[in-house]
Chains A and B, each alone.
Chain A
């Protein structure tokens, strides 16, 4: 199946630090990338949708100035958690999809980034 690489897999840093997470689609060109947050024993919560070359669309309640998303190419999207605080600690997962001409191919997910803010 399609491969999506997410890096780093784990980050531990001090409060106030900004953290960048990368998401790469390795074997296909992703028109759209999605960023999710997952709390323990809960399902995935969509944070934002990012189309290549466009501004990200954020879900209600997600601070766009806090979670900066860049999708500069068809294979790379980044999520930057700015001035992270302990409440930002979570499991962040990206996914990539390819949508041409009305197709609805499945999203393929990275293996997530465990972010711990001290």
Chain B
């Protein structure tokens, strides 16, 4: 069974304190790994797609990396506006529903000023 596990469940940082979020996955065949940001009462906002081990993507203070077993979302010098729930999702090769995503439970990030 495909599984996605995110850690930690919650992370509190001071403004400027860099850290990383982890997404571990066990799938039969990875087609893509996606990172989303979700603010309270809103739908997820797309951040990155990673397709193969060794790939990295960057956007402002965020950097996503991928290995064969996990992905990291690195946050450099975070600001209070980076506070949100960060969701990791995998798209599995094959299957009956093309494009279907399996989500992790998310990491709730709080950045204090």
Known contacts: A42-B105, A112-B41. The answer to whether A106 contacts B34 by CB under 8 A is: yes
Interface residue from B42, B91, B98, B99 paired with A111 (Cβ < 8 Å): B42
A32 to B87, Cβ gap below 8 A? Answer: no
A34 to B100, Cβ gap below 8 A? Answer: yes
Interface residue from A4, A43, A109, A114 paired with B104 (Cβ < 8 Å): A43
Q: Digit string of A59-86 for contact with B (CB within 8 Å is 1, else 0)? A: 0000000000000000000000000000
Name the CB-closest residue of A to B44.
A109
CB-CB < 8 A to A43: which residues of B?
87, 103-106
**Is B101 an interface residue, CB under 8 A from the partner?**
yes
CA distance A1 to B59 in the complex (A): 14
Interface residue from B32, B41, B43 paired with A95 (Cβ < 8 Å): B43
CB-CB < 8 A to A4: which residues of B?
43
Give the size category of A's interface with B. 20 to 34
**Is A6 an interface residue, CB under 8 A from the partner?**
yes
B100 to A111, Cβ gap below 8 A? Answer: no
Q: Digit string of B34-69 for contact with A (CB within 8 Å is 1, else 0)? A: 101000011111100100000000000000000000
Give the size category of B's interface with A. 20 to 34
Name the CB-closest residue of A to B101.
A107
Name the CB-closest residue of A to B39.
A111
CB distance from A49 to the nearest CB of B (A): 4
B97 to A49, Cβ gap below 8 A? Answer: yes
A112 to B101, Cβ gap below 8 A? Answer: no
Between A6, A43, A49, A107, the greatest number of chain B beta carbons within 10 A of the residue's beta carbon is seen for A43
Interface residue from B32, B44, B98, B99 paired with A44 (Cβ < 8 Å): B44
CB-CB < 8 A to A21: which residues of B?
none
CA distance A107 to B46 in the complex (A): 8
B99 to A57, Cβ gap below 8 A? Answer: no
Known contacts: A104-B31, A104-B91, A114-B41. The answer to whether A32 contacts B46 by CB under 8 A is: no
